[in-house]
Structure formats: C-alpha cells, structure tokens
Amino acid sequence: MSTATYTVVGMTCGHCVNAVTEEVTSVPGVTAVDVDLASGRLTVTSDAPVDDDAVRAAVDEAGYELAGSA
C-alpha cells in the first residue's frame, strides 16, 4: 500500500471536496482519498504508487489544481 499527500488550491466548500474526492477516486489503483478543506491537503492511498501526473490531471478535471503546478 502507498500513501501520497498533495495540496489542492481553490477549494472553498464541501462541494469542492466532493468533486476532488470523486475525480481522484477514479484514478486507477487508488483505494482511498481524503481531502481536508481547511488545509487543502489531499491524501491518496493506493495499492501501488500512483503517478503524480494522474493525480494532477484528476484534480484539474475536478476544476482545481495542485499547489506548485504550472
């Protein structure tokens, strides 16, 4: 099992949290997703390490971005 944490920028409410959770959960291999609205922290648990780009794309798809992304 693998866990990675990221920081999501732009979330303002529970709906945002749900959108990010839904998209990132759909990334292949991801088994659990936890999003903390206050800090923007995104914790991704997966069977094997997930490509950061896949997580970034999923967050982007939800309408937000990872901190530090161009």
15 binds Cu ion (CB under 5 A): yes
Q: Tokens 């967050």 label which residue?
A: 59
Tell me the closest approach of the beta carbon of residue 30 to Cu ion, in angstroms: 21
- The sign of the torsion formed by the CA atoms of 10, 16, 22, 25 equals positive
Nearer to Cu ion, 47 or 60 (CB): 60
Strand 41-46, strand 65-66: pairing: unpaired
Residue 35 or 44 with smaller CB distance to Cu ion: 35
Nearer Cβ to Cu ion (19/50): 19
Dist. CA 60–CA 44, nearest whole Å: 15
1, 13, 38, 70: which one contacts Cu ion (CB under 5 A)?
13
Q: How far is the CB of 23 from Cu ion (least distance, A)?
A: 13
